[in-house]
Amino acid sequence: MSESFSHIVIGSGSAGSVLASRLSEDSGNRILVLEAGPMDRSLYELRMPAALAVPLESARYNWAYYSEPEPYLGDRKVYYPRGRVVGGSSSINGMVYLRGNPLDYDGWSRLSGLEDWSFAHCLPYFRKLETSDHGSNDFRGGDGPVKATIPECGNPLFQAFLEAGQQAGHAYTEDVNGYRQEGVFRMERSTRNGRRCSASVAYLHPARASGRIDLRARARVTRILFDGLKATGVEFVQNGQVKQAFADVEVILSGGAINTPQLLKLSGIGPRAELEEHGIALRHHLPGVGENLQDHLDYLVQFHCLKPVSFYSATTPAGKLSTGLKWLLFKQGIGASNIWETGTFFCTRDDAALPNMQHHFAPIAISYDGTEKIEGHGFQFHISQMRPRSRGWVRLASADPFAPPRIRFNHLRDADDRQEIRDAVRITREFATQAAFDGFRGSEIAPGADITSDAGLDAFGRAKAETSHHPSCTCKMGQDDLAVVDGEGLVHGLTGLRIVDASIMPSVVSANINIPTIMMAEKIADLARGRTPLPPNAVAFYRRHS
């Protein structure tokens, strides 16, 4: 069984939804989108912002990966949920709307072959994708598909956070995605009218009205098909049947930083020795496939709250009912919050050119996926390291396309990474001791007030540190020996195959990666369509050291 299309998009996540939508604007195109997971139909699990932990707890919409034993995290296997549903990880993520620092992209542009990836070249596409509550200006967009909502921050703990940050010497930044990233800020979220605004909601589903997109859910791609070094189509399994589909123009792989390198290797594209180990015929040797894996570590600093004002009340049976009804009827209340409404970008070193740490602040003491909850009122600072030096990998467990890949992040392998985390914990504790928290701050839950030494903080990190869920960089752009694609996402040494997802980032950006991934997809969509890219917009932005 086979069919023919102009383009085949593998994966309907943050990048795949954008590519399919933009390609469908050309009347001559017919696009097949293949998604391994189900449709994103849900009354609340994929719609209510505050329910974000629910799809992380099961494999219904989630690949539910685990890392290999992490040697610098006490040999723990770390849980890595990734979206397996229409919309991909944008359907199950924390909806945090951040772009990263302009210097991230200027750093990309200094790499060979990536001159068109400076912030000036990326800014027009950041503006194109969004409708911002700030309105249209030199930095922000006013009529794009993704809604960027500024939270009200009505809970008193959010207000205490913003005041305490300034008392601790951090500037207040009015628009963290505008002129200045560094400082304390209200954290925008990708929601519209109290509901999640995923990539599928913003792009894919509206575009299907054109009749040019054929979306197949529960269709697992098992390999990319080639004629020599030209990608011609895909083989996939749907409803127990093995099928093939062919692309007249190109195949676009948007599986994400874990699934994309896995599928390339299963198709004979990757490091020669690894493919030989699993009996896979080598089609094209690319040693960087699956290497250079990067992520932001998540290290919690938690406190008891002396007043009953946290979101804990919404976790009790009565609280869940009240929260759910208010959201269901009015799309308001705690149910419309994604929990993280405030944050900080800050530096642990005076000589840093840009912030190397990030806070997400939550008015509740609970693990990211909701599995570890402190009984009683609390609040917590999530510490994320923006540019870790530690590198990991994604490798095959076997030649079976249905076997999960092997994943190792090597979090905290680098000594400087460990020092940055120690410094960030101490800065965070100073933040929490400010007068604005005096009426709320109880005893420290984690790491615990008695844990102050380098050795103690390191031990806590090994035992408890988790992920911020930002895997990236496993098929990076560039021209060096480990580069997999060029600046247009085209795979080196092949034709007819393009990769567009977080895997092609050369280095992880200083922020949550969903919006940067959408930006990359918008930018490459113009290239894939043969359109002239939007002209660069060289605006001035804040620099710590001029």
Q: State phi, psi for 214 to the nearest 5 degrees.
A: -110, 105
- The DSSP output letter for 181 is -
Catalytic site residue 470?
Answer: yes
For every residue of 225-247, DSSP letters joined together read: EEETTEEEEEEEEETTEEEEEEE
**What proportions of the chain, in percent to the nearest 5, are helix, strand and coil?**
30, 25, 45
CA-CA distance, 266 to 154, in Å (whole number)?
50
Measured N-to-C along each axis, helices 415-432 and 454-464 cross at an angle, to the nearest 10 degrees, of 100
Indicate the burial class of 2 (C-beta count within 10 angstroms; 0-12, 13-18, 19 or more).
exposed
Residue among 32, 41, 33 at smallest CA distance from 6: 32
Contacts of 438 (CB under 8 A, 6+ apart): none
Q: Is the peptide bond before 447 cis (omega within 30 degrees of 0)?
A: yes
The order of strands in the sheet holding 392-395 is 291-293, 392-395, 406-408
Residue among 526, 525, 327, 293 at smallest CA distance from 405: 293
Residue among 382, 390, 456 at smallest CA distance from 72: 390
Indicate the burial class of 237 (C-beta count within 10 angstroms; 0-12, 13-18, 19 or more).
middle
Q: In this structure, is the dihedral angle defined by the CA atoms of residues 178, 181, 187 and 190, taken in order, positive or negative?
A: positive
CA-CA distance, 99 to 93, in Å (whole number)?
15
Instruction: Choose the catalytic residue: 411, 469, 470, 492.
Output: 470
CA-CA distance, 3 to 370, in Å (whole number)?
43
Which two three-digit tokens encode residue 535? 């002209």
For the chain, the straight-line distance linking the first and the last C-alpha, in angstroms and rounded, comes to: 61
Question: In angstroms, how far is CA 363 from the centroid of its own chain?
Answer: 22
Q: State phi, psi for 193 to the nearest 5 degrees.
A: 55, 40
CA-CA distance, 201 to 82, in Å (whole number)?
18
Q: Which residue has the tokens 């050369």?
A: 506
Question: In angstroms, how far is CA 249 from the centroid of its own chain?
Answer: 29
CA-CA distance, 73 to 458, in Å (whole number)?
9
Which two three-digit tokens encode residue 533? 């890219």
Q: Would you name the residues annotated as active-site residues?
A: 470
